[in-house]
Structure 1
């Protein structure tokens, strides 16, 4: 790689990284707002919210990366063309392909990053997020406890807590349990969720128990410490249900009967697998369209707004059609081939148009002279 090529690659890399980083920050903000329910309604910690937000990022990379490449390349190429640095590079002996090679290297690197994310990072992150969400939804501490409110749980249990401290300590707790005609209540000054031999329990400190039986007998008991068994209130038939986005690539292309029953039919899983492999190719399409919009015409001091708008429109249409192909491949599996062909064909066409437009066109005066001398 020559010195000029290294310079061009550096000038392209920084805006692309900035664009991808900005889009990633917007994605993180959007995901964090969606996860606020975990803290507000489920009583989880801030770390759980941050964890789920970060685990959602690999799935967003396939969307963010091509857009970041397109926006960053447009910014860099517009500046290089406006300041005539590309013209100086060509005047210094740099050929068209040599000038395009740094941009193609960056696009190929983006494709590799997208493949790594889709094949390895996304299923791992999605499974971790699914397991964490399942644990939150089945967490009795979140289901049964809400500060200042009576929460009705399963199997006739009702729990009230006056105050929940940051360390998980419950203050002034009241439990009401009805089984048929038998009613039992517990009250305690303090309580805390824990596990004994793997079973969930609620340890009550400084309280009493009252039990009214169906035969009219009232039983009263005061205690310093009492372990309230929560096992009868834990659903035993609940398991984590993984979706197609949570599965590994091998599971998508060769699913077991259990996965087909839980995650979806075989054509849907295959379409998801091909989408993961094909979506990074849109980084090549984005770079080719950016190059074609800026370098595919005459130099302009007034800007390249119209060319950029056309390239952005083409990229938007191609990406939407790509999403449509993923959905259509569920019904027609042969359309999976088009998931790869579409971004590659548009990228090749953009490069072809770029070189066609770079060829000098004869002016009208030259055409008249040729006709006159013919």
Structure 2
């Protein structure tokens, strides 16, 4: 890479990284707002919300990288063209291919990063998030605790909590257990859920225990601190249910009978697999369209708003059409080939328009007139 190419690479890479970072920040903010339910309704900590939000970042990046590449490249190339830096580059003897090589190199890096995200990081993050959500859903603290309400649990268990603090401390707890021939109640000023070797328990502070049997025997005990075993009420028969986005490529193209039964059909899994492999091609397409929008025509002192608008519309149409092909491929396997053809054709057309701009326009209807104009020019 020459000195000029290194300069162009840096000038294009910075806005691209900035655009991707800004879009990722917006996506993380949206995800965190969705995850507020984990704190408000499930009584989980802020760390759990942050963990679920960060695990969703790879899936966001798979969508954001081509968009950020397109937007950032447009910003960088527009500035370079407006400040006549591209004109100076071409005047120094650099060919158009040499000038766009840094942008192509950047697009290749983005495509490889997208491939890594879609094939490794995204399924890993989705599986971890699914396991975390399952643990929250089956957590007794989330299932049994709802502020200001009596919540019925399994095996005759009923729990009431007057107040739940942000650190997980329970205020004014009441527990009622009906075992048929025996009824037991606990009340405590403070309580907290916990686990010992995976076994759930409830720590009660400053409370009492009342037990009344069918034989008419009443027992009453007050305590400063005690532990109640909740393992009899933690029988969970449900299991984690995965989606096609949670599986790795070998599982998508060679699904097991269990995957076909619980995740989706073979057509859906194959369509998801081809979508993962074709996603990097959209990064190359995004850069090719951005280059064509700025460098694919004559210099204009009034700007390139129209060309940019056309390139943005073309990028949007092709990307939406790509998502449509993924959905259609789930039921028609032969359409999977178009997941690759669509971005490749769009990239080829963009590069064709970019390099065709170098050729002078000739009138096919009047070649003699063109020669006459050239002679008297």
CA contact (8 A) 1:163 1:172 kept: yes
Instruction: Provide structure 2 residue ranges, at least 5 long, that are not aligned to the other structure.
Output: none
CA contact (8 A) 1:244 1:269 kept: yes
CA deviations 1:204-232 (Å, max 9, x no partner) are 23332223344554443434444322222
Q: Give the aligned partner of residue 305 of structure 1.
A: 305
* Alignment size in residue pairs: 373
| Residue 51 of structure 2 corresponds to residue 51 of structure 1 | yes
Q: After TM superposition, list the pairs within 5 Å mapping 1:1-374 onto structure 2.
A: 1-180=1-180, 182-214=182-214, 216-362=216-362, 368=369, 370=371
CA deviations 1:289-334 (Å, max 9, x no partner) are 1111111111111111111111111101100110011111111112
- In structure 1, what is the Cα distance between the partners aligned to 2:356 and 2:144? 69
- In structure 1, what is the Cα distance between the partners aligned to 2:197 and 2:15? 55
Considering only aligned residues, what root-mean-square deviation do their CA atoms show, in Å?
2.2
Instruction: Provide structure 1 residue ranges, at least 5 long, that are not aligned to the other structure.
Output: none
**1:157 Cα offset (Å):** 2.1
Task: Give secondary structure in 2 for the equivalent of 1:302.
Answer: coil
Task: Give secondary structure in 2 for the equivalent of 1:155.
Answer: coil
**1:366 Cα offset (Å):** 8.8
Task: Give secondary structure in 1 for the equivalent of 2:94.
Answer: coil
Task: Give secondary structure in 1 for the equivalent of 2:357.
Answer: helix
CA deviations 1:109-151 (Å, max 9, x no partner) are 1001101111111111111111111111111112212334333
CA deviations 1:265-293 (Å, max 9, x no partner) are 11111111111111121011111111111
- In structure 1, what is the Cα distance between the partners aligned to 2:227 and 2:148? 23
- In structure 2, what is the Cα distance between the partners aligned to 1:230 and 1:147? 19
- In structure 2, what is the Cα distance between the partners aligned to 1:131 and 1:188? 32
CA deviations 1:2-42 (Å, max 9, x no partner) are 11111111111111111111101111111111111011111
Cα distance change, pair 365–256 in 1 and its aligned pair in 2 (3 A): closer
- In structure 1, what is the Cα distance between the partners aligned to 2:351 and 2:52? 40
CA contact (8 A) 1:159 1:174 kept: yes
CA contact (8 A) 1:32 1:49 kept: yes
**1:198 Cα offset (Å):** 3.2
**1:335 Cα offset (Å):** 1.4
Task: Give secondary structure in 2 for the equivalent of 1:239.
Answer: coil
CA deviations 1:149-203 (Å, max 9, x no partner) are 3333333322122344454333321112234475332112332223345321213
CA contact (8 A) 1:82 1:300 kept: no
TM-score of the superposition, structure 1-length normalised?
0.93
- In structure 2, what is the Cα distance between the partners aligned to 1:76 and 1:223? 70
